[in-house]
């Protein structure tokens, strides 16, 4: 009776609040672990001290989505949350940034209750229910074994940072609950009429966990990293979840973005989207820089002439698996000496379940430049196998920059070349029906410049720039002007390419292809007190920057120290860049400094501004073309230390902490 009176009172209060306050902003979380305070014993709650979590099994702090994350590898590594965590929890929202390497059964995002092995009631959110590579689930299990379940309709991506959320709404009037799953801010399944209110169902809890199953027989560990955990005592809407996760608008829709602005060690390429995928250069492929001070600098993928391609990794397939409507796009330049454009192969992008689709006919999606078409099939490349395609029917033009975009909107597939709609067809094949079969988490073989048919040739003598995957169908206006800016970007690419041809900055070939790192044969020249001091790059062992000086060490053992205040210009690869040490009256400003995740340069000229980043050893560790719409440079992947930020307008010393 008292419970019924309490529920009636709560319903009346909520109803009156609804009349007085038609729109309420989401409340602060009752629990917020960020793992940026590297305490070996506790996960520090940033909202309230009484909700600190105990770290069990000595999990490691590692590089994470933002700063540091917690690596939970085996079953003995987890977070034990406080005993009173679920008190008064009628509705709730759980959210977390995670990076799972595999989807193993019997793991947990959270497991709340008392005791072990289901001796008492518990609630668990499970990344992979019932088997490996399963869907997510919310499980209510009472002490007498009665079970109520909710399931997602998509799998959690693997090998990539992913935002996972669950919103649970308890309706006091109907006495039923609704659980809704979210992956990267988009709904991924919902279940109504669940019979349990969490706090009533659980009672007083003593054993609440994150990353751990209470069953002693469940030996699989979490198997990944967790960067942030938030728990709200209110149900959040989709819009609120996106806001909390930083996934509003373009950030949440752009799943993959390779603009080749940041190189990693061992030929790894960092994705520029918020999700931070990594790709790997294969065979003859490399990254080169086009342009000069006047045209601006642009990094592009050079496929070369010896079966070069970019391996996007299995994580890219996990991202594609989240899509219903989608957009794929890339700029490309096929050299005018290329003679194989009419042959099979010449794939610009490929997402496949096999490296040999002729024998293993199990589904692929790809775009080729032979006919300029997008194809998707649940099996292989014949109509009988279910192949559907949207085709322009003409081979790509050689010798200039062009752009291909494919959009899937419902059952309508549309192909754009250089921003112009050239073909449209009814396409009923979906990502789920064609690609999520043998590998339900997404296709494993995902490439730029390589075909999934073993006998096909690779795409050669081609530059690729700005490959993107969106979780929506872009409009024609977004393709041409607002988002991809096709005409404007092609003009920038043409100017940068022409600058390289004119100054012969890419050696060994008049058609712009090189087997070596760009600029490798040129000189570094310093100029102090109006006297030039040239040093051939081939003779240079290291170039080291300290906060106040530049130290040149040659391979013959000599060294020279030059104060940065005396340096008037540096010449790299024949490109002279004036050094202007920052002063208070300069118009170009860098902030913040010191910086941790990013820095911003402003104002940016209408023509754009190329930025290069050098570490204290003089190595180029990043570069990016900024515009008035994009003035921010992401440095989250760089180690702490001093860097030289170089532009044609001014240079800055930056401390990354």
Tokens 């689930």, located at residue: 137
Q: Please determine, for residue 224, whether its predicted confidence score (pLDDT) is greater than 90.
A: yes
The answer to whether the beta carbons of residues 597 and 276 sit under 8 Å apart is: no
Q: 């030039």: which residue's tokens? A: 532
Q: Are the CB atoms for 355 and 462 separated by under 8 Å?
A: no
- Which residue do the tokens 């570094």 mark? 524
Q: To the nearest 10°, the Cα dihedral for 63, 266, 276, 133?
A: -90
CA–CA distance, 639 with 616 (Å, rounded to integer): 11
Read off the DSSP letter of residue 384.
Answer: G
Q: Could you say which architecture CATH assigns to the domain 27-248?
A: Sandwich (2.60)
- How far is it, in rounded angstroms, from Cα 261 to Cα 279? 13
Cα separation of 127 and 228, whole Å?
A: 16
The C-alpha atoms of residue 610 and residue 526 are separated, in whole angstroms, by: 21
User: Cα–Cα distance between 473 and 491 in angstroms, integer?
Assistant: 24
Q: How far apart are CA 199 and CA 211, in angstroms?
A: 21
What is the signed CA dihedral for 505, 510, 513, 518, rounded to 10 degrees? -10
Is a pLDDT exceeding 90 seen at residue 412? Answer: yes
- Which CATH number is 252-503's, of 2.60.120.200, 2.70.98.40, 1.10.10.10, 2.102.10.10? 2.60.120.200
How many whole angstroms separate alpha carbon 543 and alpha carbon 550? 7
Tell me how far apart the alpha carbons of residues 93 and 163 are, in angstroms, rounded to a whole number. 13
The pLDDT tens digits for 541-559 are: 667 776 667 777 665 566 7
Q: What percent of the chain has pLDDT above 90?
A: 63
Nearest to 102 by CA among 316, 318, 366, 296: 318
Q: What is the Cα–Cα distance from 70 to 61, expressed in whole angstroms?
A: 5
Reported as a single tens digit per residue, the pLDDT across 365-406 is 999 999 999 999 999 999 999 999 999 999 999 999 999 999
pLDDT at residue 249 tops 60: yes
| Range name among 94-108, 125-139, 257-271 with the lowest pLDDT average | 257-271
The DSSP output letter for 218 is -
Q: Which two tokens stand for residue 422?
A: 């050239």
Are 508 and 514 spatial neighbours (Cβ–Cβ below 8 Å)? Answer: yes
The pLDDT value recorded for residue 472 is: 97
Nearest 5°: the CA angle 125, 128, 130 is 100
**Of 539, 558, 405, 391, which is closest to residue 479 (Cα–Cα)?**
405
Question: Exposed, middle or buried, 377 (CB in 10 Å: 0-12/13-18/19+)?
Answer: buried
Alpha-carbon gap, residue 290 to 312, rounded angstroms:
23
CB neighbours of 584 closer than 8 A, spacing ≥ 6?
Answer: none
Say if residue 522's pLDDT is above 60.
Answer: no
Q: In this structure, are residues 370 and 345 in contact, taking their beta carbons and an 8 Å threshold?
A: yes
Number of H helices, E strands in the chain: 8, 46
The residue length of the chain stands at: 657
Strand pairing class (462-470; 523-528) = unpaired
Distance CA 313, CA 460 (A): 20
Binned at pLDDT 50, 70 and 90, residue 582 comes out as very low
Say if residues 15 and 41 touch (Cβ distance below 8 Å): no
Contact (Cβ atoms closer than 8 angstroms) between residue 320 and residue 351: yes
What is the reported pLDDT for 517? 34
pLDDT at 625: 84
With cut-offs at 50, 70 and 90, classify the pLDDT of residue 627: confident
Query: Which residues does residue 171 pair with via DSSP β-bridges, in sequence order?
Result: 176
Residue 81 has pLDDT above 50, yes or no: yes
Coil/strand/helix, residue 263 = strand
Mean pLDDT of the chain: 85
Give the domain ranges of the chain: 27-248, 252-503, 523-656
* Residue 214's pLDDT band (cuts 50, 70, 90): very high
Tokens 């720039």 locate to 465
Residue 372's pLDDT is 96
pLDDT bucket at 566, cuts 50 / 70 / 90: low
| Out of 208-222, 320-334, 421-435, 596-610, least confident range | 596-610
Residue 515 has pLDDT above 70, yes or no: no
d(CA 431, CA 437): 10
Taking the alpha carbons of 242, 445, 517, 495 in that order, is the dihedral positive or negative? negative
Tokens of 320: 């594609």
Instruction: Give dist(CA 617, CA 622) in Å, integer.
Output: 13
SS3 499: helix
Helix (H, G, I), strand (E, B) or coil at 265: helix
Round to whole Å and give the CA distance between 14 and 7.
10
Q: Would you state the pLDDT for residue 17? A: 38
Task: Using only the alpha carbons of the chain, give its radius of gyration.
Answer: 28
pLDDT in tens, 123-182: 999 999 999 999 999 999 999 999 999 999 999 999 999 999 999 999 999 999 999 999
Q: Sign (positive/negative) of CA torsion 434, 312, 186, 81?
A: positive
Which residues, including other chains, have CB under 8 Å from residue 464's CB and lie 6 or more apart?
300, 301, 303, 310, 330, 331, 332, 348, 448, 449
- Those residues with Cβ within 8 angstroms of residue 589's Cβ, 6 or more apart along the chain or in another chain: 601, 602
Helix (H, G, I), strand (E, B) or coil at 523: strand
Instruction: State how beta strands 309-311 and 388-391 pair.
Output: unpaired
The Cα–Cα gap between 238 and 435 comes to 27
Distance CA 303, CA 465 (A): 11
pTM of the model: 0.74
């Amino acid at each position: 009776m008292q419970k019924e009176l309490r529920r009636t009172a709560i319903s009346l209060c909520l109803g009156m609040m609804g009349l007085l306050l038609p729109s309420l902003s989401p409340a602060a979380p009752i629990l917020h672990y960020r793992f940026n305070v590297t305490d070996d014993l506790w996960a520090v709650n940033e909202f309230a001290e009484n909700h600190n979590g105990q770290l069990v099994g000595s999990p490691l702090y590692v590089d994470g989505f933002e700063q540091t994350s917690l690596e939970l590898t085996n079953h003995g590594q987890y977070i034990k949350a406080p005993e009173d965590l679920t008190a008064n929890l009628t509705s709730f929202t759980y959210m977390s940034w995670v990076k799972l390497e595999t989807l193993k059964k019997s793991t947990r995002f959270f497991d709340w209750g008392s005791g072990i092995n289901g001796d008492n009631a518990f609630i668990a959110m499970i990344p992979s229910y019932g088997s490996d590579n399963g869907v997510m689930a919310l499980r209510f299990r009472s002490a007498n074994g009665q079970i109520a379940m909710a399931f997602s309709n998509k799998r959690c991506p693997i090998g990539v940072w992913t935002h996972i959320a669950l919103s649970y709404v308890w309706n006091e009037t109907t006495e039923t609950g609704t659980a809704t799953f979210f992956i990267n801010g988009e709904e991924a399944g919902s279940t109504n009429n669940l019979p349990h209110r969490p706090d009533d169902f659980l009672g007083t809890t003593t054993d609440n966990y994150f990353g751990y199953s209470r069953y002693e027989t469940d030996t699989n560990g979490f198997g990944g990293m967790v960067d942030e955990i938030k728990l709200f005592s209110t149900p959040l809407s989709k819009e609120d979840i996106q806001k909390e996760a930083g996934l509003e608008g373009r950030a949440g829709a752009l799943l993959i973005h390779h603009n080749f602005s940041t190189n990693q060690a061992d030929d790894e390429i960092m994705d520029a989207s918020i999700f931070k995928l990594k790709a790997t250069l294969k065979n003859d492929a490399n990254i080169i820089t086009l342009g000069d001070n006047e045209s601006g600098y642009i990094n592009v993928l050079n496929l070369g002439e010896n079966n070069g391609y970019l391996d996007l990794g299995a994580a890219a397939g996990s991202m594609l698996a989240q899509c219903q409507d989608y957009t794929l796009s890339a700029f490309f330049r096929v050299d005018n000496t290329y003679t194989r454009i009419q042959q099979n192969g010449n794939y610009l992008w490929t997402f496949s379940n096999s490296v040999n689709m002729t024998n293993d006919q199990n589904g692929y999606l790809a775009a080729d430049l032979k006919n300029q078409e997008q194809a998707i099939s649940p099996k292989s490349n014949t109509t009988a196998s279910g192949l559907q395609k949207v085709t322009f029917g003409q081979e790509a033009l050689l010798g200039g920059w062009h752009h291909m975009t494919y959009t899937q909107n419902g059952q309508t597939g549309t192909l754009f070349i250089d921003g112009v709609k050239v073909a449209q067809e009814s396409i009923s094949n979906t990502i789920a029906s064609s690609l999520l079969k043998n590998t339900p988490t997404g296709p494993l073989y995902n490439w730029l410049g390589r075909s999934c048919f073993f006998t096909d040739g690779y795409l050669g003598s081609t530059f690729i720039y700005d490959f993107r995957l969106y979780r929506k169908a872009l409009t024609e206006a977004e393709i041409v002007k607002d988002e991809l800016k096709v005409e404007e970007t092609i003009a920038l690419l043409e100017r940068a390419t022409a600058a390289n041809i004119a100054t012969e900055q890419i050696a060994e070939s008049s058609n712009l292809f090189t087997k070596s790192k760009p600029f490798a044969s040129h000189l570094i020249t310093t100029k102090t007190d109006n006297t030039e001091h040239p040093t051939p790059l081939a003779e240079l062992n290291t170039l080291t920057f300290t906060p106040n000086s530049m130290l040149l060490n040659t391979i013959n053992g000599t060294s020279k120290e030059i104060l940065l205040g005396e340096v008037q210009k540096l010449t790299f690869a024949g490109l002279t860049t004036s050094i202007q040490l920052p002063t208070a009256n300069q118009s170009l400003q860098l902030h913040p400094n010191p910086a941790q995740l990013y820095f911003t340069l402003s104002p940016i000229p209408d023509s754009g501004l190329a930025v290069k980043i050098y570490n204290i050893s003089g190595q180029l560790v990043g570069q990016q073309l900024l515009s008035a719409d994009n003035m921010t440079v992401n440095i989250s992947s760089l180690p702490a230390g001093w860097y030289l930020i170089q532009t044609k307008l001014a240079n800055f010393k930056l401390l990354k902490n």
